[in-house]
Every structure is written in structure tokens, then in C-alpha cells.
Chains A and B, each alone.
Chain A
Amino acid sequence: MALLVDKHRPRTLEALSYHPDLSDRLKALAASGDFPHLLIYGPSGAGKKTRITATLRALYGPGVEKIKIDSRVFQTTSNRKLEFNIVSSNYHLEITPSDVGNYDRVVVQDLLKEVAQTQQVDLAAKQRFKVVVINEADHLTRDAQAALRRTMEKYSPNLRLILLANSTSNIIAPIRSRTLLVRVAAPTIDEISDVLGKVGKKEGYKSCEPLEKRIAKDSGRNLRRALLMFEAVHAQNDNVTEKTLIPPPDWEALIEVIAQEMIEERSPARILQVRAKLYDLLTHCIPATTVLKTLTFKLMPKIDDSIKSDVVRWSAFYEHRIKTGSKVIFHLEAFVAKFMRLYEGNLMGMDMDEFDD
């Protein structure tokens, strides 16, 4: 049994339902025989990976869908053993270097060279090069990216890279200049609800357009999430209507609670309670930036317009710090404290500089 998302994932470029221009271009690229390095970026749930898979299929045929997972062990210079999973078919392989954290450089160097130095042995293969898909390329360290850049040129006859990233901001310029940038934008709400409608029809769900729209909106234009929510709603309710409750994911519900608590009471004791909840979220693998962003959006409807801009500004400020610092809770807590200070000050009509000394 598989979830709807996976069950109805399009397999070919032709089957993709939105961004037709992009699909056409990818089709053309695959057909040209001169396939460049790609850097595909876009938000989660926009369909990046799906498009790549479809493109690979266009390049190599259905054989590329026959994938397996290998586990490799790499040894670092300090003799630490790293276990690393590689997803591969006969024609391509897919790696997630950020799995091994700071040691991603080792993986990139060793593995890519190994792949690049061996030629395609399958004479029946449509292309002479292999494709390496690098997931979460924006999480690559600087070192790993630097290791990548020369490899990309030197071994280009045997190797093509497809980098997947959420944004190009963390990708160093040399890499960007060596790749063809392909942006996969998040689908619009209409596109999502369209997809939901089609899937619902295939599954025999009763169609309810307003609900689909709502789901699309709640999902934050993340098609994957929308589909999962869509399935969850239908799994929990036999009869869906416009008003059917869309259950928020557990972590989002918790953030909502936090936001509520921050509004209700502003005091150091409350910060302590909030801290415990934030810790909970972080330990359960919700990224700090997601927490901060979601929290900010949850706070927005609850606060006065006059301080909204300040809150957003500080939210951005601390998000940056989360990225540059190491102990994320410190920054989250600083945001919480700052928010409480702003909110309280606003309530009392006090200016921020009042207490400066």
C-alpha cells in the first residue's frame, strides 16, 4: 500500500501536470544528447525530484527506475567510519552528502571520482555518461562544494551532475556558473487543487472543490503536503464537506500552542515553558528555521498591526542567527523574549528605547 503521493506520482515528463514550459525544456535537453550539469532549485513539494526522475527516464529509458540502495562505508582522515547510503540504478546514482554532516567532502571526493573514472559499460545505454544526483546540495559545506567544482569539468565526459537545492543562496558561485539553473516554482493553489481533484477522482473520492482549495492553501503550496493532507482528511472522514476540519500536523499544532502561550502571558516563567516546548520541537527533528518561520506566521494574526513589521524583522534577524550560530535554541529563545518585550511594550504604549542604559 502506498500513500496517494507516491501512488500517483507522474513518471514521465509528459505526465507532469504543471509548469509545461519547464517540462518541454527538460524534454528538449534530454533529447539533445548534450546534457548539461543541472542545478534544480525550488521549495519543497514543488516537484523537483519528480521532474528529475522523469528526465532521467527520458534520458535512459525505464531501466532507470530500477533502483536499489547500497550502503557504503567511507573512512575519514581521522579514521572515522562513515556509513553512507547510495541509491542507484544502472545509469545513475543518487547521494545525499549532507547525511554525513561535516564529512561530506570525503564522500564527494571519493565517490564522485570513483564514478567519474569508470566508463559506462553497458553498451546498450543511450548515453555515455552517468548521472549523479546530489540531494540537498544547499547543505553541502563549502569544502565539499569546492571539491565538486573541478570534478565537474574534469570528468564531464563520464559524468553529469544534477544538484537539488531549496535555494541557490548556499551554493557557491563557481558551481552556479557551471550548471544550468532550473527553477521549479511551487505550484499555485489552483494547480494544486487541480491535482487533488484528479487524484480524488482516480481514488473515487467525492469531489469537494472548496475543501481542496483550502487544503492547497493550508499546505503552503507544497504539493506533497497537500496530497498527504488530502489523504488524511479523506481517511478520517467518509463524507467530506467544505467545512471539514483539516488536521494540522503534530508539530504545527504544537507551535500553535506556543504562539498562544506567548500571547497569553509574557514573563520569564512563561519563556521557560516555551523553551521546553521549543526543545521538544527541535529534538523531534523540526528544523529551527521552520519552527521560527511557522511561529512567526502563527503569531501574526494575534498581534497588533503596529508591531507586525517589528516582529517580522526580528524573526528574520534571528533566523539568520540560527544559520550562523550553532545552538539554535538560544536564538529561538531570544526571539521569544524579544517578542514578549515588543508585545508588552505595545500593550503599555511604551517605546522600545525606554530602558536603554
Chain B
Amino acid sequence: MPSDIRSFFGGKPAGSPAEKPAAKAKAEPKKGRGRTRKVVEEDEDEDEEEVQPAKKATPKKKKAPEPEPERTEETTADDFFGSTSKSKPKRSEPAVKARPKTRGKLEAQVDDEAMPVKKGSAANGKSNGSTRGSARKGKKVDTYAEDDFPDDDLLEGAVDNAKADAAVGRRMGDDYDEGTDDEDDVPLVPKRAERSGRQKKLASHDQDDYDPEGDVEMKDTNADDDFVVPDEDEQIVVDRPAKTTPAKAAKKRKSAATHDDDDDDDDMEIEEKPAAKKPRASPAKKATPASKKQKKEEVEDSAEMKAIFESIPTITAPEPPSKKDGDEKPKFQFGGQHANSAVPSGAIDLSDLPQGEENCLAGLAFVFTGQLQRIGREQGQNLVKQYGGKVTGAPSKKTSYVVLGEDAGPKKLETIKQYQLKVINEDGLFELIKRLPANGGDSAAAGKMAEKKAKDEVEIKKAAAEMEKEERARLSAAKPKPGTAAAPTKGDGQAVPTSAGKQAASGPDTRLWTVRYAPTQLSQICGNKTQVEKLARWLRAFPKNQRTGFKMAGADGSGVHRAVMIHGPPGIGKTTAAHLVAKLEGYDIVESNASDTRSKKLVETGLKGVLSTTSLMGYFGRGDDAAEAGKKRLVLIMDEVDGMSAGDRGGVGALASVCKKSSIPMILICNDRKAPKMKPFDYVTYDLGFRRPTTDMIRSRIMTIAYREGLKIPTNVINALIEGSGADIRQVVNMISTAKLDQTGSNMSFEDGKDMSKAWEKHIILKPWDMVSKILGGGLFNPAAKSTLNDKQELYFNDHEFAPLMLQENYLGTNPQRTNAYNANPSMKKLAQLDLVSKAADSISDGDLVDRMIHGSQQQWGLMPTHAMFSFVRPASFVYGSMAGHQTRFTAWLGRNSSQGKLMRMLKEIQGHMRLRVTADRFEIRQSYLPVLWELLVKKLQVEGKEAVEGVIECMDGYFLTREDWEAVVELGVGEAGMEAVKIETQVKATFTRMYNQQSHPLPFMKASQVLAPKRAPAKEKPDLEEALEESEDEVAGEAAPEEDDEAEGDLSKDRYVKQPKKKKGKAAAGGAKAGKKAPAGKGKKKKSAEDDEEEEDEEEEVVKPKKGKGRASAKR
């Protein structure tokens, strides 16, 4: 894991060449840390002492990594003021960074325990530098919060003004910090892991479990919020003393005790830009001079702000439901919550939304719960975001306000009660927006935000400067000679080649932005840190694994794989990561992507060459260390594996088998790992799933790019762009690239951003399932959803044939939102539900009438929008609501319709056969005859078994029914007579089949399709033929068809006999074809199972044609 540590301390991960310095840095800090930890432990009990050791620890640490501490600080300052960083200072950064962090952490932990520490720490803060002081401050706030909370009035309802004010101020600070968990929660970090388990233990020992957590969150928030608030430098200056943020941030970084990977990523990202780190520390330092007391005062909100906050109407949250019925609750709630996000029945017009000052909600964290009366949840959240506030999913200690609607979740209510959060309704929110000054005024929360902002700004500038340097380095390297090209890689992060400054870029850069700003270091990859590290680790270990024959799985199980499969959505840097890692690990890359044909053959032959060779680069690359082993290595990057399509037949399989025996590492990249065609790669490759990075991960990168391009894009706009594109980094970069063309210099507004991401929205044709769940459960009917009638109609046109069918299939599965008005009265609710369902069904019925006009004889296609309304939009408008607990089913109509068609054909057949005896039409046959026939033909067989066979066959013959008709009768039964209910012993059935086949049966007529073919050949003879047949009919049909009127068809049935035996014989390979009556005998020799029958029936039609002519001819003879 060296790279982690390196990046932590040095900001830039080192490639192999840079390892030495990194290693040093690593070793030394550790020592320092160890000490610190010890100190902390001791300190737990005694505040005063704690301060001292802490102090001690700091200097030591400083010393350890940094030979020249003084210098470092200087550079930082320089950097801060002169934003273009020099190459030198980078080195020193680690020291600076390390110090504040450790410090902060220690203190955070200590703080939780003891109030008294304050004084000492204050002193320290001064002498020690910003970190200390700020940390103290942060702690102070925390403690206050803890202490004051119990006193809070919210619970009782009676408010002591002064106290309340204080409480509010403090709480705001806290809330603001805490509120952020949603996005960033991801805790932690390799850093932490590395850092002693001890510290963790320590943390857990602390009295408050949640404090460490709080800290973590705080940090997250800060990071977030910084970006959110547009910064103005002046303000920052003013506010800084008041704000504790920097310290907090530092503290946070250090402290989190429980964490996920994401957090880690965040940290890394920030840290990866060495330049960024420095500025952070320096402002903090500057702030320190302020006396502790002053700070304390300033933390609280100014009088006006207090007044404003005070004046916001709060409401009382309902009691959370008692625990007793808790068991059922969660389930119920599951559906309910979805519903809440959608529909306010009395929604207000968009234009009525309050207009406030820009960024007036800066620093405030909101939680929305329940169903609001007048705005949709999404709308409310957008509103908050637009004004710079934060929206989080679940309330926590740090939530500034809970915007409460009806039906709030019990869990949330509990939390609200627990933390005594401020509860407002949408009026309160509007009030806040209307009254708060721009940028959150001078409230504590807003101040913090602003400060963060400023820091970020600086960070971004640094990063941009860095980028510029690299750029120059690249250019200069490219120009003189290839030799220097390796420099950036070699220097690894830290070192900008010395030649950098000397020459300016020549001519405009014509590369795409996505190329120009592609990450050049691991640390610059947004998100998926752990995955990238895993990839790097695997690649590094590859030679070793190869030696051991891929037997040792290793820590993460990657050791047994020769290939890695990276999968994830587009635009999140899979290819970039693969290339970068390969490059940094010193491999040469052979790439194959969808532009190459990759059929089985080509994969096998093409790869054969690659797999057994080494790179020449190692020999020709550089004079001295030429044949360096690491340089002869190749890695195969197989991009867009799931793009292997029809043209690449067998390519996937071949590739998978190559993966099993490759002697060079292979990196495969695909979007959809779960696709069936990727199955061959199961167990063959080491899967690394890349996820979409969070907004925060991308934002700083994007802001850096924007800054570098001279674009001024507010943070919330960038947020909107990122969210709108689904965290597709490439697309966001493209979008701001476009934005630059559009409006150089001018600012993009929040709305512009929204519009833009909307315009760039990937247009996908929705699947029928998605369509229906979107219209029913998607909250489109929420008046606040901003979705117009046209939008809804648009859904229908995603697939106009399936939309109505799917809707009809699923509209009963909702929990209609509109019945929520009757929640109090279950029976009323039920009635309302039935009413809505009935209306929806009526509308669907209307839609069908329209459908008839469209698809019927009139062909009025102009009515399609009407159809969309009646059959799709309107029904949904009645029953929309949560679809929880309902699985969207595929329409049953198609299947039913086709089976109806099939059964109808069977019925027609039956009717045709019975026609000679029966006058009824087919519906009468079905309704009157079939129940009786079912009794006679099926039930009898079922009940009486073999004895009944004789009678059954006789009855069938009486009505000219065939064996197939018997099956049809079974199939046509419904309800109790349904096919499933019919259980005839197989033996009985076999007997029945055998006996049936042994006998000859009268047939009323031949199917035209069977008669047709022979007809053509002896066309002229036809009339004669008929007569001839008629004469011979007596002999044939005599026994079977006793009635005279059957004579005419007797001849036809004879034909059938002729045909049947022939087919059979053909099957039995008995060559001789016999005509006429002898056939039945032939038949007798085989018994057919029912299945056989059907099969043969099919064959029959084909086989018959040629033979029939013969049959007839012989009959004639």
C-alpha cells in the first residue's frame, strides 16, 4: 500500500522510479505518529498534560518528514498569495499536511472528553499555529452543543430567548456539519487503517460514540459546502476569524473512526493535489492570531441573523409512533415513503415559489420528510439546492431544519425528537429563503461555508497551476527529445521537470478537453480509488504471481487471475484508469477495442503474437537503464469487450480462454458485466466494478478545469451538470467545453446548467416496464414535478403499442396517492380507491374505443395522441402512487390473445367436423355441446379408465371427431373442466391412442391445404376423379359412415387413409407404398403416443403431397 501513504503525505503517488523519497516520508511520519498516539492515551484523564504532549508531538512530526520546516511554511505562504506554485515547495507539503491532521485528530478525541482542555488548547493554539487553535474551536462548539442540547426548549415548547439563540447558533454550526452524511458518508480510509489500530480504539473509548462520527461528517460537510458556496474573497477575510472550519476540516480528516471507502476517496482526492493542501493550512494559520475569546463570540450568529432564525415559524413534529406497532411499520413505510416524494395535492404554482437572495441558505442542511402540502419534495430539494443549502436524506444531529410534511417516517420523527431538531413546514422554508441575506449573511454556518469556499478556490487555483506546469512540461518534453518525456512519470507527482518554466506553450492546444485534461496521475482519477489501487496492486504482483504459477490468491484474491475485468457505466474513467495504471507500473500497452475485429480466429491468432513477446521499448527506450526488466513488459488492454458483437463470432469465448493461459497481464473493460454474453468470463477474470463517482469527487476536478479555461461556473451549476449527466465525467467536460464556446466569459446560471444537462440528457427509449412504472410510480403527477401533459404523453410514444397494454396490466398494483386524503378512515379510503380504479378502468375502456378507430377500418392515426391520453395518461392520473410491493408485470394480453386464437382455430376445426351432424355455430358448440362432450369423452376416460375407451371412440366417430379434436376438447375446458384438472392415466391414454389408431374412422372432409397439392397435377382429370372416387366409396366408407349423406365425404376420408399409412411406412422405413384400404392395417402396427401424433400430423402434411397423387390413382384403378 505504499502508494496510499505516499499520496497521503506527498500528495502524489509515486510511480516506481519515485519510490525512494516516498518511502522515506512514509517511515518517518509513522514514528511521529506513534508518539502522538501514546501521548493521547495518557492524556485522556488529564487535560492540562494532554496539551503539552500534544505540542511536543507536533514539532516532532514536523521535523520528521521535513528537513526544512521553515522553508516549507514560507513556501506555503507564497503559494497562498501567489497562487502559481513553484516546483520546489511541493516537497515540503507533506510535513505541513501531516501536522495539522494529526493534531486535529488528537484533539478531536480529547475534546469529546474534556471541557477544561479549552484553555490549554487556546494557549496552544496561539503558539502552535492555526491547526491547534482551530481544532480547539471546533471542539468548543461541539461541547457546547452537547451541553446545551438537553436544555433546549424545543422539547418543552417554551422558549427562553437568549438561550434559544445560543442554542440555535450552536446547533446551526453542528447541524451544518452533520447534515452531510448522505453524500459523503463514506468513511474511511486506508490512511486510517494504517494509522494505528490504537487510535481507533481510543476513539471508541471516548464517552460519546457519535462524536467521532460527527467529526467525520463535519469534515465531509465542509468539503461539500465549500464548493457549494460561491466565494467572495473579502467575505472570507472578514469571516475567517469567526469560523472554525479549517480546523474542523483538519480535525475531521484525522478523526473519523468508522468509515467507508468513499470517504477515503474524498480525502485522497483533495490531498492528491499537493498545492491544494498547503493553502488550507496557511489560512488557518493566519486565523490563529485571533484570541480565543473573540473566536468564541464570533462563532455565534450575529443579532440579526439570530432574529431571522428566530422568526422562522417552526411547527411541532408529531410524536413518532410507539414502538409497539413497530414491527409492521417498516414495511408499510416502505411504500409510503415513495409516495411521499411525489404528490402534493394542493401544490402551488411554480411562479409562487419565493425568490431569495443568492445562496441565502448557504451552510444550512435540510431534511425533507413526509408529504408536503404545497410543493413536491423534489421541488423543495431543488429549491434548497438552488439557494446553496444542503439536502440530506436522513435527519441527524447536524440537520439545521427538518421540512416536515404529512406521513413522515416514524424513524425520522424519532430522530427529530432525539436531537430536538428544528422542524418547519414549507412556509418556514419559504420564509427562510425570503429573509436570509445573500450567502447566508453572517451566520455561523454561512461563514464556515464561505471560508471553505475560499479554501477551495485556492486549492483549485493550485491544482490549475499544477496542471499548467505539467502541460508545459509535456510540451517541453515533447519538443526537445523523447528522453525527457518520461520525466513527469518519473518524478511522479512531485517534480515538475526543471525545464518546465523555460518555454511557453507554442500554439493553441488542439486536443479535446477530455484528452487534454485526462488524469496523468492516479490521484487525479475521480473516484473508485480502491478499485484503481487493486488494479495497480494486481499488476504489480503479476510477475510474482506468474512465477508461482498463479497459485497464491494473495490478500485480495487477485493472485490467481491473469486477467482483470473492469466494468462500470460509461464516462467514469475505466479506460483512463487502466491506461494510467499500466503506464505508471511501467508496462507498455497493447490495446484492442471495438474498432478492431475480434472474432474467434483473430483473437486466437492475433493474440498469440502479443502474448509471447516482450516490448522493444525496454531496449530502445533510454540509454543507461535500457534493458531494465520493467520496461520489457506488456499489458494487453482489451477495451469494450461487450462491444464484441455479431461480427466477432466466438470472440468472447476465445478471449476468455486466452485469459486462462495468458502470460502477460490482460485488462478487459466492459460496461455490463452481467450481460449474458459476458458469462464466459465468470471465474476467469478478477472483477473490478467501477462505480459512478459522487458529485463531490468530480466537482473539484471540473472546477479546476473550468478555472484553467477561464470559465466562471458557480458550484451549484457544476453540481447540476454532474447530476444531470449521471456522473459521467467525460460528458461534463464536454459540456463545459461547449459552454465555453457558447458564452466565453459570462457566467452560467443554475437554470442554464439545468437546461444544459437536460439538453444533453441521453435519450433512451424506455422499456415497457420502465414506462409504466414511471407514469404510475414516478411522481409525474405531482403538480410540483414540473412534468407537463406533453411529457406524460411522450412516455406513451416510447412504445405506443405496449404502453396501453402495460398500463392496463399494472394499474391495479398501485397504492393510489389520491386516496391519502382518506387515510384516517380506512373504509372511505377503500371506497375512494375503488372509485379511482373504476375511473381508470373506464378510461382504459374509452381508450380501447379510440384504439379501434386507429387500428380498425378507419385508420385514423391522427388520433394517437388522444389514445395516449385515454389509454395511458388519464388512467394513470387516477391511480398513480407507490408501486411498492408490486412487481411490474408484462402484459398478459398478448399471450392470452394468441392462445385464444389457437383455441378458436381448434374450435373451428371441431365445428367443421361436427357440421354434418350439428347445426350449431361454433359458439353454440362451445357453450352447449362441449360441456356434454367433455363429460362423454374426457371425464369418462378419466373415471372409468380403459373400459370407456370403446365408447369414447364410438362417440367421436359419431361426430366425426379426430384424435386431435379430442385433445382440443380437453384444452377447451375451463374452470373445473380445465386442462389442469384433467388427469387421465397415461396407460389409459395410451390404450385410447392405440385403439383409435387401429381403427378406421370416418372423416367429413379433407383439409384444403392437403388437397391442394395433388389437385394441381391432375387438374384436368379432376371431375372424373371425383366420380371415380364416389363409386369406390361404398367399399371404403361403408362401415364407418353408415349414413347415406356421408357418402360424398367418404371418398375424401379414404384419401386420408391412403395418406396416413404411407407416412407411417415411410417412417418405419418400409418402402412399399400401398394404396387404399390396406392402409389401416399398416396403421395398426404402430402405437403412437399422443405427442407422436401431433408430430406426425405435421409431417403428414408435407409427406402426403407427393404420395397422394399415387393414392388417388390407385383408388381410381
B838 touches A340 (CB 8 A): yes
- Is the C-beta of A205 less than 8 angstroms from some C-beta in chain B? no
Distance, CA A196 to CA B892, complexed state (A):
44
Task: Enumerate A169-195 residues with CB–CB distance to B below 8 Å.
Answer: none
Q: Name the A residues within 8 Å of B840 (CB-CB).
A: 337
Q: A67-B1045, A250-B934 given as contacts; is B900 within 8 A of A282 (CB)?
A: yes
Distance, CA A152 to CA B256, complexed state (A):
96
- Is the C-beta of A2 less than 8 angstroms from some C-beta in chain B? yes
Q: Name the A residues within 8 Å of B454 (CB-CB).
A: none
Q: A83-B1008, A271-B837 given as contacts; is B958 within 8 A of A2 (CB)?
A: yes
Q: Name the A residues within 8 Å of B848 (CB-CB).
A: 321, 325-327, 330-331
A266 touches B834 (CB 8 A): yes
Q: A285-B903, A285-B907, A290-B927 given as contacts; is B973 within 8 A of A333 (CB)?
A: no
B1048 touches A66 (CB 8 A): yes
Q: Name the B residues within 8 Å of A336 (CB-CB).
A: 841
- Is the C-beta of A15 less than 8 angstroms from some C-beta in chain B? no
Distance, CA A350 to CA B834, complexed state (A):
12
Of A24-32, A42-50, A124-132, A296-304, the segment with at least 4 beta carbons within 8 Å of chain B is A42-50
- Is the C-beta of B1007 less than 8 angstroms from some C-beta in chain A? yes
Q: A53-B919, A65-B1045, A228-B928 given as contacts; is B974 within 8 A of A254 (CB)?
A: yes
Q: Name the B residues within 8 Å of A283 (CB-CB).
A: 896, 899-900, 903
Interface centre among B907, B935, B1006 (most CB of A within 10 A): B935
Q: How many residues of B contact A (CB 8 A)?
A: 82
Q: A1-B955, A3-B932, A250-B974 given as contacts; is B837 within 8 A of A337 (CB)?
A: yes
B900 touches A324 (CB 8 A): no
Q: B898-937 CB contact bits vs A (8 Å, 1 = yes)?
A: 0110011001100010011111111110111111101110
B838 touches A71 (CB 8 A): no
B919 touches A49 (CB 8 A): yes
- Is the C-beta of A135 less than 8 angstroms from some C-beta in chain B? yes
Distance, CA A70 to CA B955, complexed state (A):
23
Which bucket holds chain A's interface residue count? 35 or more
Distance, CA A66 to CA B832, complexed state (A):
64
A44 touches B830 (CB 8 A): no
Distance, CA A354 to CA B836, complexed state (A):
12
- Is the C-beta of B1031 less than 8 angstroms from some C-beta in chain A? no
- Is the C-beta of B405 less than 8 angstroms from some C-beta in chain A? no
A325 touches B849 (CB 8 A): yes
Q: Name the A residues within 8 Å of B927 (CB-CB).
A: 225, 249, 251, 286, 290
- Is the C-beta of A115 less than 8 angstroms from some C-beta in chain B? no
Distance, CA A228 to CA B975, complexed state (A):
20
Distance, CA A355 to CA B899, complexed state (A):
39
- Is the C-beta of A287 less than 8 angstroms from some C-beta in chain B? yes
Q: Name the A residues within 8 Å of B893 (CB-CB).
A: 327, 329
- Is the C-beta of A232 less than 8 angstroms from some C-beta in chain B? yes
Q: Name the B residues within 8 Å of A261 (CB-CB).
A: none
Interface centre among A9, A70, A290, A348 (most CB of B within 10 A): A70
Q: A250-B934, A283-B896 given as contacts; is B974 within 8 A of A67 (CB)?
A: no
Task: Enumerate A209-268 residues with CB–CB distance to B below 8 Å.
Answer: 222, 224-225, 228, 231-232, 235-236, 247, 249-251, 253-254, 257, 266-268
CB distance from A42 to the nearest CB of B (A): 13
- Is the C-beta of B202 less than 8 angstroms from some C-beta in chain A? no
Distance, CA A55 to CA B726, complexed state (A):
79
Distance, CA A49 to CA B903, complexed state (A):
25
Q: Name the B residues within 8 Å of A345 (CB-CB).
A: 831, 835
Question: Residue A224 contacts which of B827, B831, B920 (CB distance < 8 angstroms)?
Answer: B920
B954 touches A326 (CB 8 A): no
Q: B814-848 CB contact bits vs A (8 Å, 1 = yes)?
A: 00000000000001101111111110111011011
A269 touches B855 (CB 8 A): no
Q: A114-140 CB contact bits vs B (8 Å, 1 = yes)?
A: 000000000000000000000110000
- Is the C-beta of B1049 less than 8 angstroms from some C-beta in chain A? yes
Residue of B nearest to A282 (CB): B900
Q: Name the A residues within 8 Å of B900 (CB-CB).
A: 282-285
- Is the C-beta of A12 less than 8 angstroms from some C-beta in chain B? no
Distance, CA A316 to CA B855, complexed state (A):
24
Residue of A nearest to B904 (CB): A285
Q: A85-101 CB contact bits vs B (8 Å, 1 = yes)?
A: 10101000000100100
Q: Name the B residues within 8 Å of A50 (CB-CB).
A: 919
CB distance from B946 to the nearest CB of A (A): 19
Question: Residue A250 contacts which of B830, B836, B915, B973 (CB distance < 8 angstroms)?
Answer: B973
A355 touches B835 (CB 8 A): yes
- Is the C-beta of B368 less than 8 angstroms from some C-beta in chain A? no
A326 touches B1004 (CB 8 A): no
Interface centre among A236, A331, A345 (most CB of B within 10 A): A331
Q: Name the A residues within 8 Å of B849 (CB-CB).
A: 321, 324-325
Q: B1043-1071 CB contact bits vs A (8 Å, 1 = yes)?
A: 01101110010000000000000000000
Distance, CA A271 to CA B811, complexed state (A):
11
Question: Residue A272 contacts which of B812, B828, B1012 (CB distance < 8 angstroms)?
Answer: B812
A334 touches B834 (CB 8 A): no
Q: Name the A residues within 8 Å of B978 (CB-CB).
A: 250, 280
Q: B986-1011 CB contact bits vs A (8 Å, 1 = yes)?
A: 00000000000000000011111101
Distance, CA A17 to CA B402, complexed state (A):
86
Residue of B nearest to A222 (CB): B928
Distance, CA A326 to CA B912, complexed state (A):
26
B1005 touches A285 (CB 8 A): no
B855 touches A136 (CB 8 A): no
Residue of B nearest to A136 (CB): B921
Q: A53-B919, A325-B851 given as contacts; is B831 within 8 A of A250 (CB)?
A: no
Q: A73-B1008, A249-B927, A272-B812 given as contacts; is B912 within 8 A of A254 (CB)?
A: no
A251 touches B916 (CB 8 A): no
B832 touches A355 (CB 8 A): yes
CB distance from A287 to the nearest CB of B (A): 6
Q: Name the A residues within 8 Å of B844 (CB-CB).
A: 330, 333-334
A250 touches B924 (CB 8 A): no
A44 touches B920 (CB 8 A): yes
Distance, CA A79 to CA B753, complexed state (A):
57
Q: Name the B residues within 8 Å of A268 (CB-CB).
A: 812-813, 833-834, 837
Q: Name the B residues within 8 Å of A341 (CB-CB).
A: 831, 834-835, 837-838
Task: Enumerate B1022-1053 residues with CB–CB distance to A below 8 Å.
Answer: 1044-1045, 1047-1049, 1052
Q: Name the A residues within 8 Å of B917 (CB-CB).
A: 2, 6
A326 touches B920 (CB 8 A): no
A321 touches B837 (CB 8 A): no
- Is the C-beta of A68 less than 8 angstroms from some C-beta in chain B? yes
- Is the C-beta of B477 less than 8 angstroms from some C-beta in chain A? no
- Is the C-beta of B31 less than 8 angstroms from some C-beta in chain A? no
- Is the C-beta of B123 less than 8 angstroms from some C-beta in chain A? no
Residue of B nearest to A44 (CB): B924
Q: Name the B residues within 8 Å of A247 (CB-CB).
A: 931
A232 touches B845 (CB 8 A): no
Residue of B nearest to A2 (CB): B958
Distance, CA A266 to CA B837, complexed state (A):
11
Q: A250-B975, A334-B838 given as contacts; is B812 within 8 A of A271 (CB)?
A: yes
Distance, CA A266 to CA B959, complexed state (A):
44
Task: Enumerate A294-330 residues with CB–CB distance to B below 8 Å.
Answer: 318, 321, 324-327, 329-330
13 A-B contacts, Cβ less than 8 Å apart? A1-B951, A71-B1007, A249-B927, A251-B931, A272-B812, A280-B975, A285-B904, A324-B852, A326-B852, A326-B856, A337-B838, A337-B841, A355-B836
Interface of B with A (CB < 8 Å)?
A: 808, 812-813, 827-828, 830-838, 840-842, 844-845, 847-849, 851-852, 855-856, 892-893, 896, 899-900, 903-904, 907-908, 912, 915-924, 926-932, 934-936, 951, 954-955, 958-959, 972-978, 1004-1009, 1011-1012, 1044-1045, 1047-1049, 1052
3 closest Cβ pairs, A-B complex: A68-B1048, A254-B975, A49-B919
Given contacts A68-B1047, A250-B934, A287-B923, 12 further A-B pairs with CB under 8 A are A1-B955, A67-B1048, A69-B1004, A89-B1045, A250-B974, A250-B975, A250-B976, A279-B896, A283-B899, A284-B973, A337-B837, A341-B835
